[in-house]
Each structure stands twice: as C-alpha cells, then as structure tokens.
Chains A and B, each alone.
Chain A
Amino acid sequence: MMRLSRRQFTALGLAATVATAVPVPAFALTGAQAQALVDRAVADINAIISSGGTEAQMVRQFKDVFDDYAHTAAIAASALGVAGRSASNAQRSAFVDAFGLYLANKYGRRFREFEGGEIIVQRTVPVNNYMEVQTIADLPGQAPFRVDFHVYDRPGRPVFFNLIVEGVNLLVSERQEIGAMLDQRGGNLDRLIADLRAMG
C-alpha cells in the first residue's frame, strides 16, 4: 500500500541517497530489529486498547510499554532542553520519572483513538545514525496517514526515541510544551516535576 505523493517520494529518495552516500558509523541496529521493535510495540498497544480496561489501568499499561520500547530518558532530556543543563542529577532522574507518567497519560489517551484501526509497517529506512520505521495508520472513516517511529540502540537495546505523525514530531512538540510549562512556573523545575507527577 503506497500513498506517498510524488514529491514526498522524491524527498524520501533523496534522504535515502544522502543516508547511503554520507559515511555513517556502522549500524549495530539492523532494519529488521527496528521493525520488529515497532511490530511488538504496536501489538502491545493494540492489546491494551482492546482489553477494555479503565482509563487509569490503561495509562499504567501504556507507561510499561513506554518503559519497554521507548528511550524515555532521551525523550525527557530532549524535552527539558537547555533547562536541563543546570539541573542536579537528582532533579534529572526525578524529571525522567515524572515525564514518563505524563507521556503515558497524554499519548495513552490519544492511542485510544486508534481503536478499530491498524498500524501497518511499510518499510525501514536508515537515516543518519538511526532507523526510521515508516508505518501507515488506517483508522475507520479516515484516509490512511503516516506514522514514523525513529529507532536506535543507544541504551544497548532497540528503542524508539521519536514518533512523527504526519510530519508532527514528538520531540519538537514536547520540547516546546515542557518549555512553556517551565515558563509558567517561573523556571522552577521542582514544581514542574511535582505537577507532571500529579498529571500522570
């Protein structure tokens, strides 16, 4: 199933060409491993959605999925951005924990909109130093749309560190959102951590 426009296709082709032409560090992670990770994550997410549990139960299960399949530490570090530089190690580790709860709560609720739909893996493309697993989300009543998982093996196992839904980038959105939340709290990281925990 292919529904890339010609221009998108050219852009992808270019990206792939650049990825192969520019010398990159040898991949420890293969495309097949990256794809297998996404397949397992999607299966787990689908199982949670169809389990019919309460919202609170689902959020806890989504947190487990994030812990297993996503590099929460890197997503958290990226979201905190420059504000993380002056943070103590204790604050950093508390932030990762609270941020994981916040992510599971936020995206877990959104995944429920995938109920009755399916995510079909299309292909895996090496980009710079990670793998992009391109999938199509097919939801009832909607034209199919692109969801890409960015996968690497930095923590020693395959994990995804970014999710791109029709071009909308999780790392970009969360860096901006966490920045705005921190601004609202006068830059007080401890207050932000406590509030994220309460939201999760």
Chain B
Amino acid sequence: MLEKKSLSMNNFFVKKMIHFFLLVLSVYLLSFFLVRLIPGDPVDILVGIGNSSVDVALIKQQLGLEQSFFVQLKTAFKNLVLFDFGVSIHQGLPVNDIIKPALLNTYKLAVTAIIISILLGIPLGLFVSLTNKNEITNAVKQICNIIIAIPSFILAPILILIFSMQLNWLPVSGMNGHLSIVLPSLTLALGLLCYLANMTLDCANDLKENAIITTARSKGLRVEKIYFIHILRLISLPLVTAIGMQLGGLLSGAIITEMIFSWDGVGKILIDSIHQRDYPITQAAIFFIAITFVAINFTLEFIYHKLDPRIR
C-alpha cells in the first residue's frame, strides 16, 4: 500500500517534469522565433537604414541570421542546453551577464511584494471577518475590488503623489538605500494584498458555521485564537493556489513598475532593449520572465500535491 502511494507520487513528479520541460522548450522557441515577425529584413529594421554595410553583415553574423532556418533551429537548441543567449548588440556584453543581476533585482522586488501582501492581506481579512459586521465586510470588499482593478501604471503615480510628494517619506525612484524598495514593492503588492484579503474574508466567513469551529469554541478557546490557528490552517490551501494564480499579474506588473521607479530589474531591461532594438536581450528577458512564472506555478502544484492528500 505504502509502496503504491510513493509510486504514484513519483509518477506525478515525472509526468509534471516532462510537462515542464516541454513547456520551457516551446516558450523558448516562441521567444526565439518571434523575431521572424519582423517583416522584411530584420537587421535593416534593427540597425536602421543608412548604416554602413559592414555593420549589417557583422550583426547578421552575430545573430546567425545568414544561415538557413534549420541551422538556426539547431543553434537555438544548442544554446538553450548551454544556457547561452548570445551577446548584446549595444553593450557588447554577454546577455547572461546583463540578465542575471537584473533578474535578482526583480526577484527581490517580487518577493518583497509577496511578503508584504501575505503579512498584511491575510490578517486584514481575518480581522474584518472577526468584526462580524456586514457593513464593514461589504465596504472592505468593495474597496478591495476597486484596488484590484487598478493597473500598476496608475497605482504608482498615486503612491508617489501621496508618499513622496505630500508626506515626503520615501524616495521617488532609483535604487539608493533600503527605503527605495518600499514604493515599487507596495505598488506591486497592493493588488495581491487586496485579493488575499478578499479571499481570506470569504473563506473565513464560509467556515464560521463549520463543525471544527464549533468544537473549538465549545472547548473554550478564544475567538482570536480560533481564527489565527484553526481557520488560517484550513484556508491556507486555497490561498496558496490564489497566490500562484496572481503571480502572473505581479510579474507583468513588475515590468511597468520597474520602468516607473527606474528599478534595474529584468522588466526595465526588457523595455530598454526593445527601444534600443537590442533583440538578444529582449528574447532572453521575455524567456526568463515566462520561465520564472512557469517554474513557480509548477512548484506550487507540487506543494499543493504534497499538502492536500485528497488530490493524489
């Protein structure tokens, strides 16, 4: 019996890993051959007309565009295995050297945002549910729904207006000092925070009549304790799924947020490279953002699978 169970876990793992690698491969191919969307000669558009022909030939060679389609496909596969994304056209550095610090900066921002939203959103939902008042619940839910709908490029200027201009507490942009992470991460966090608060509120209200809670109360436990131990444990699973689902919005919001706050993350590098037509970087940045998203979702699926014996 035990053996069978572990086998099914292994099976699940292997199946998911194959699935994951197939997805990585297709995302890579898609991001690699997006450049084929450029009508006409891509290099002409990349360098602009009026450049010397030596330039064009060199760039063509650098990008491997003078070779046939299948040779390019082969090189693309080889580069994926070697994790080599070529050389930046503008800066002349290997793309990996540029992307790596940027990715770390983005992860720093995203992780801070997730921590902020978990630490504030879930307690907010629990406290509102504790008040047991319909008006407060409805008001909080309405406000949260509005904030969820606001895109990051509107949230950012509003936050700058409040915290940097009026109150003068936080720096407007840049990456100097510890305080500079607050505003960009708050911009990213607010949507997820409200989403988590809403969800916690809904789940906690649904659980109020549950037998587990009645038992805990009849044992004489304090209501606060029931909320922060029993209910929190019961709703942790849907919350994990919710965080996974919202991560997409967080990562794509990071692209615009980094632009506004000039945070040197992978999103800013992506947009800068698009404007400079530095397309090895563009490809790599798109690939890495998508892969981060996919990898986190697969990890969450494993966690979910481990936590909840029912879906095995």
Do chains A and B stick together as partners?
no
Which residues of B are in contact with A by a Cβ distance under 8 Å? none
